[in-house]
């Protein structure tokens, strides 16, 4: 018998309004029919999913508490909310035209608002078993909404704590900025270092015409956690979506990004920095769809792997026939720091319009010997020279983060990972 049955799904949806209830039971049907993806599916090609859902059980309530979020300490006057084991914990927060509340509660109390946002940028349950599971068994998380013209008074810092041991949780963050609104959110995804859990975070981002949403996601879960995330953003005319992802933790950490540049003049800036070690697998599937004219996108990711870690970046820029005067760029640079580590970097372009500017760059390689020689000629030990070079490698990505205040802690985390690897002789 499965841990993930109809009764569990029904219980998860006890507060659902009618539209969500329907969606949930459809999703449960899909979940029951879905098999675990295999590497024959192009979109899972580089990842061996060596587990089944029933290796985990649904989380039975918020139990973990990791204390204050160290990341939030770097953000000036944040509005802090917490999601533990998939459940919103704490107080809703309301300001003039600006709402930060439990998604479950919002779906019940502000049903229309949530429905509109999810109509636009919800993640389709028929994508795969994880997306179906999220719609069938999840439901809570955070709803961030800014009404027309509202500039959010503070950065929303969402502390998502992943699972008690052995659980699967499905936190969902929905961010909607109506016309000309401006919203800024930092998500810290974390767990105890030794937690073994599955977390399926979902991000639904609706950027209204002329609006801006800045979102940073710092993925810092322990090496026993599998994180299989999805982000779907739809961007209106002359609107801007800025997204930064920092990938540090997870035995398997995947993020499937799907950004639709729908409106004329819409833009997306996507930046990433990741560092894998031990036998971590970091899997990035980034899709950028240019639908409107005069749209602009830039994807820029830098990553390093050491030990037996593997990283995958598969980027796709698709420019529809309607996407004339588009500018789109993707860059992915990877450092291989140990013989056992590897990185796949696969940028793709699919261009159906004829008046566009596109560029892509992709590199995978070791530290640069000339740089090392130069630094050592200044008296730096080989280890110090490497450390400086690794640090320098990430600076370009850190300089593009939507929240510059995160650069300091992120730099420290990355440097510490590398220094530990040096101290333990893995690089």
Partner 1 sequence: MSNALEITNLKARLGDLEILKGINITVPFGEVHALMGPNGSGKSTLTHVLMGNDAYEASGSALVGGIEVMGLPVFERARSGLFEAFQYPTEVPGVSLDDLTVEMIDVADDPSAARTRAEDASQFLGMDRFMDRAINTSLSGGEKKRSEMFQLAVAGPKAAILDEIDSGLDVDAVREVATMVESLRSPSLGVLVITHYSRILRYMNPDRVHVMVDGRVVESGGPEIAERLESEGYAAVR
Which residues here bind partner 1, judged by CB under 8 A? 370-371, 373-382, 384-385, 388-389, 391-396
- Give whichever of 55 and 368 is closer to partner 1, judged by the CB atom: 368
Cα distance between residue 159 and residue 325, in whole Å = 39
Least distance to partner 1, CB of residue 399, Å: 8
Cα atoms in the 13 Å half-sphere on the side-chain side of 163: 27
Six token digits for residue 269: 């800036």
- Give whichever of 67 and 379 is closer to partner 1, judged by the CB atom: 379
- Give whichever of 353 and 367 is closer to partner 1, judged by the CB atom: 367
Least distance to partner 1, CB of residue 410, Å: 14
Least distance to partner 1, CB of residue 411, Å: 10
The gap from C-alpha 177 to its chain's centroid, in whole angstroms, comes to 18
* Residue 419: burial class (beta carbons within 10 Å; 0-12, 13-18, 19+): middle
Least distance to partner 1, CB of residue 368, Å: 8
| Degrees, nearest 5: CA angle 331-336-289 | 25
Cα distance between residue 401 and residue 215, in whole Å = 9
Least distance to partner 1, CB of residue 337, Å: 16
Least distance to partner 1, CB of residue 150, Å: 36
- Give whichever of 63 and 389 is closer to partner 1, judged by the CB atom: 389
- Give whichever of 308 and 396 is closer to partner 1, judged by the CB atom: 396
- Give whichever of 25 and 389 is closer to partner 1, judged by the CB atom: 389
- Give whichever of 124 and 415 is closer to partner 1, judged by the CB atom: 415
Least distance to partner 1, CB of residue 377, Å: 5
Residue 280 φ then ψ, to 5°: -60, 145
CB atoms within 10 A of CB 43: 14
- Give whichever of 354 and 377 is closer to partner 1, judged by the CB atom: 377
Cα dihedral 84→162→269→362 (10° resolution): 180
- Give whichever of 50 and 370 is closer to partner 1, judged by the CB atom: 370
* Helix, strand, coil % over all residues of the chain, rounded to 5: 25, 40, 35
- Give whichever of 8 and 380 is closer to partner 1, judged by the CB atom: 380
- Give whichever of 28 and 393 is closer to partner 1, judged by the CB atom: 393
Least distance to partner 1, CB of residue 13, Å: 48
| Degrees, nearest 5: CA angle 247-258-99 | 80
| Degrees, nearest 5: CA angle 14-20-21 | 50
Least distance to partner 1, CB of residue 297, Å: 23
CB atoms within 10 A of CB 92: 15
**Pair 103, 140: CB distance under 8 Å:** yes
Closest C-alpha to 349, from 370, 320, 309: 320
Least distance to partner 1, CB of residue 379, Å: 4
Residues 6+ apart with CB under 8 A from 415: 387, 390, 391
Q: Which residue has the tokens 């850190």?
A: 398
| 3-state secondary structure string across 326-356 | EEEEEEEEEEECCCCCEEEEEEEEEECCCCE
Least distance to partner 1, CB of residue 383, Å: 10
Cα distance between residue 168 and residue 196, in whole Å = 10
| Degrees, nearest 5: CA angle 95-97-102 | 65
């Amino acid at each position: 018998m499965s841990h993930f049955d109809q009764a569990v799904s029904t219980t998860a949806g006890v507060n659902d309004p009618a539209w969500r209830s329907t969606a949930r039971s459809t999703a449960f049907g899909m979940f029951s029919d879905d098999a675990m993806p295999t590497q024959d599916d192009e979109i899972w090609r580089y990842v061996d999913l060596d587990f089944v859902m029933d290796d985990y059980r649904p989380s039975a309530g918020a139990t973990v508490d990791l204390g204050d979020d160290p990341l939030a300490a770097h953000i000036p006057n944040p509005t802090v909310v917490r999601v533990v084991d998939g459940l919103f914990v704490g107080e809703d927060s309301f300001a003039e035209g600006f709402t930060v509340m439990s998604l479950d509660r919002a779906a019940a109390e502000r049903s229309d608002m949530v429905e509109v946002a999810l109509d636009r940028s919800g993640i389709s349950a028929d994508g795969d078993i994880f997306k179906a599971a999220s719609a069938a068994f999840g439901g809570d998380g955070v709803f961030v909404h800014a009404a027309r013209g509202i500039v959010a008074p503070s950065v929303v810092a969402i502390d998502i704590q992943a699972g008690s041991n052995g659980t699967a949780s499905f936190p969902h963050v929905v961010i909607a900025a109506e016309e000309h609104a401006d919203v800024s959110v930092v998500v810290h995804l974390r767990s105890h270092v030794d937690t073994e859990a599955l977390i399926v975070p979902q991000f639904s981002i609706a950027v209204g015409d002329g609006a801006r949403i800045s979102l940073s996601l710092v993925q810092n879960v322990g090496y026993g956690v599998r994180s299989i995330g999805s982000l779907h953003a739809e961007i209106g005319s002359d609107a801007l979506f800025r997204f930064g992802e920092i990938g540090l933790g997870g035995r398997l950490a995947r993020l499937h990004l799907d950004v639709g540049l729908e409106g004329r003049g819409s833009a997306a800036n996507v930046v990433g920095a990741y560092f894998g070690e031990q036998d971590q697998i970091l899997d990035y599937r980034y899709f950028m769809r240019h639908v409107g004219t005069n749209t602009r996108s830039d994807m820029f990711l830098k990553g390093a792997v050491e030990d037996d870690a593997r990283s995958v970046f598969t980027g796709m820029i698709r420019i529809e026939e309607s996407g004339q005067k588009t500018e789109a760029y993707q860059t992915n640079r990877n450092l291989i720091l140990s013989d056992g580590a590897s990185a796949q970097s696969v940028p793709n372009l699919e261009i159906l319009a004829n008046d566009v500017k596109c560029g892509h760059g992709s590199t995978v390689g070791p530290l640069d010997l000339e740089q090392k020689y130069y630094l050592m000629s200044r008296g730096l030990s080989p280890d110090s020279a490497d450390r400086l070079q690794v640090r320098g490698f990430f600076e370009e990505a850190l300089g593009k983060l939507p929240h510059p205040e995160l650069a300091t802690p992120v730099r420290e985390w990355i440097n510490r990972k590398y220094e530990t690897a040096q101290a333990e002789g893995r690089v």
